[in-house]
Amino acid sequence: MNTPTLPGFATAPTRFLFFTGKGGVGKTSLSTATAIALADAGQRVLLVSTDAASNLDEMLGVPLSNRPVSVPGVPGLQMLNIDPDTAAEAYRQRVLAQLEAGASDDERQTVREQLSGACTTEIAAFDEFAALLAGEGIDGGYDHVVFDTAPTGHTLRLLSLPKAWTGFLAGNDRGASCLGPHSGLKMQEARFNAALRALSDPALTTVVLVTRPDPRPMMEAARTAEELSQLGLANQRLAVNGVFHAISASDPIANAIEALGRQALQEMPDALARLPRDEVPLRAFDTVGLPALRALLQGGEVTAPVPASATPALPAEPLSRMVDELAAVGHGLIMVMGKGGVGKTTIAAALAVGLVQRGHSVHLTTTDPAAHVADALNGSLEGLKVGRIDPKAETAAYIAKIMATRGKDLDQQGQALLLEDLQSPCTEEVAVFHAFSRVVNEARSAFVVLDTAPTGHSLLLMDATGAYHRQMVQQYEGKTEGKGLHIITPLMRLQDGSMTRVIIVTLPEVTPVSQAAALQDDLRRAKIEPWAWVINKSIAATGTTDPLLQARLAGEIRQTERIAGGLAKRTFVLPWLPESPVGVAALGALVEAPKLLPAAQWAGR
């Protein structure tokens, strides 16, 4: 394991390696490349994805499975994906098996209903994760288990659960919770304790904080470092991915990008500056396939097919035109969705500012636990209300509401038992869904721009919305006929194209485009039709001549050809800007200045 060309996180690894960070910083690429490097050096390695929107299958060409599968071409490497739906069904069966043989059909049906919500999905996925840390579910023969995690907010939630559940179970010895019979929880207590011990042991676990040489992901990585330290995960390393060095001294775009990256490294937060650090250069190729993944950490050339055209044959429009069309509607919900790190927050904030510029009042909010909309605005604007669905605040408010209603007629002991049940970590999922429902309802008479969490987390929220819809339809089926009543659930409002416009944001790279297409398929299965796509950080729209950026342009053209082939009904584009558009003025410029999109760069305009 002393290969000198490998970064530090791959040369002296602990048994468990967690790669975490803001969406889009390269966690999957670095974790997968590390797993391959360790296996190439003769180690037995298990690569695990905890992201509901994982793209490991595309990167390695191996179908995802909730059981370890071998990776062709890499002896010693196996991979698995913790699939929430599969994990939830297995968890339901385990809990139902704990029921006594004499349980009635009604009792069993009650348990099934209790196990149908989003909190069951979360705890079931966590249960699989905890089993790996506890040494269960694997044969124990792996030298290393490498975790490719979901974006930061979701991962912090996951890594906090061992402590939360062990604390909840330690003082709980009664009969039911939101997950069904208490035995369904209690039987996992030893596993959760073992997971907590493994996470807290620096000899066993290392957290690799992945970032880009950019102030925003660095600030998030610094906050993550501090929160993980508070959870007892103190063995941390920093990996700065995509460090760019301009090749062409005469290219202002390339020089500006390099200068900003250098400044970000010089001014990184103290919480990161004191960590051991590795830097991985920006590569000219997409990190898909074994040759590219091996070259990511060790260097080397990767050949790629030459695009059929020199410029993307894609009818692309500026954001200003999008805002004009949205403003003409007068109200509604605008949901900005996509993979982490593609620029959802910037796009959502720019749309909100643009609508205010056109005379509308707007509520800009977010479901992302990382909550960066306020940072993006960096100021205030009359007519713009900024909020967030804060899981902790929503949970506290939800508990207070339940205690004031359902608990008001209980005696002291009953109230204590109810409060104890509400301290369950899965209460947060219920509270967040209720807050999301209020936001959806608000859009009936005003503009609400919703900056969503990264794809996997948003899909779990969509699952909760669908589960609530099915529950309401079943509950009121046949009871409203002839009474002039009809049910309108949050899902029905999301399906209403006259009220909700879903905008999918992507980068012109293979993984973000594939995940955007998969997200679109998931939405369509829920009968939610995306309204438009936004291609962010387009190199083609900058006119750069730098050889490395030009090499990356070849990959961009392949992806825009995919999009032009029918993926998106409407497409809007933003160039790769030499400086992040932070602040009301900069965001306003994105929706006021079509000149940011050179017409010559895009065919079909």
SS3 at position 44: coil
Could you give phi then psi for residue 432, rounded to 5 degrees? -65, -40
Question: Quick check: is 28 catalytic?
Answer: yes
The Cβ-side half-sphere exposure at 197, using a 13 Å CA radius, reads 9
The token pair at 52 is 């509901």
Q: How many CB atoms neighbour CB 253 within 10 A?
A: 20
The token pair at 28 is 């999957």
Question: Quick check: is 411 catalytic?
Answer: no
Question: Active-site residue among 27, 163, 339, 344?
Answer: 27
Question: Active-site residue among 20, 21, 22, 24?
Answer: 24
Question: Active-site residue among 20, 21, 49, 51?
Answer: 51
Question: Quick check: is 480 catalytic?
Answer: no
| Torsion of Cα atoms, 465 then 468 then 470 then 472, to 10° | -140
CA angle, residues 257, 259, 264, in degrees to nearest 5:
95
The Cβ-side half-sphere exposure at 59, using a 13 Å CA radius, reads 28
Question: Quick check: is 287 catalytic?
Answer: no
| 209 and 27 Cβ atoms separated by less than 8 Å | no
Question: Quick check: is 184 catalytic?
Answer: no
Task: Name which of 231, 177, 171 is nearest 205 in CA terms.
Answer: 231
Contacts (Cβ under 8 Å, ≥6 apart) of 432 = 367, 389, 391, 394, 395, 461
| 59 and 287 Cβ atoms separated by less than 8 Å | yes
Position 194: which residue type? A
Question: Active-site residue among 29, 287, 365, 395?
Answer: 29
Question: Active-site residue among 20, 21, 23, 28?
Answer: 28
Question: Active-site residue among 20, 22, 23, 26?
Answer: 26
Question: Quick check: is 141 catalytic?
Answer: no
The token pair at 455 is 């794809």
| C-alpha torsion sign, points 229, 156, 509, 531 | negative
State how far the Cα of 80 lies from the Cα of 312, in Å rounded to an integer.
36
Question: Active-site residue among 120, 511, 560, 571?
Answer: 511
State how far the Cα of 513 lies from the Cα of 339, in Å rounded to an integer.
9
Question: Quick check: is 511 catalytic?
Answer: yes
In the 8-state DSSP scheme, what is residue 305? Answer: P
Catalytically active residues are 24, 26-29, 51, 511
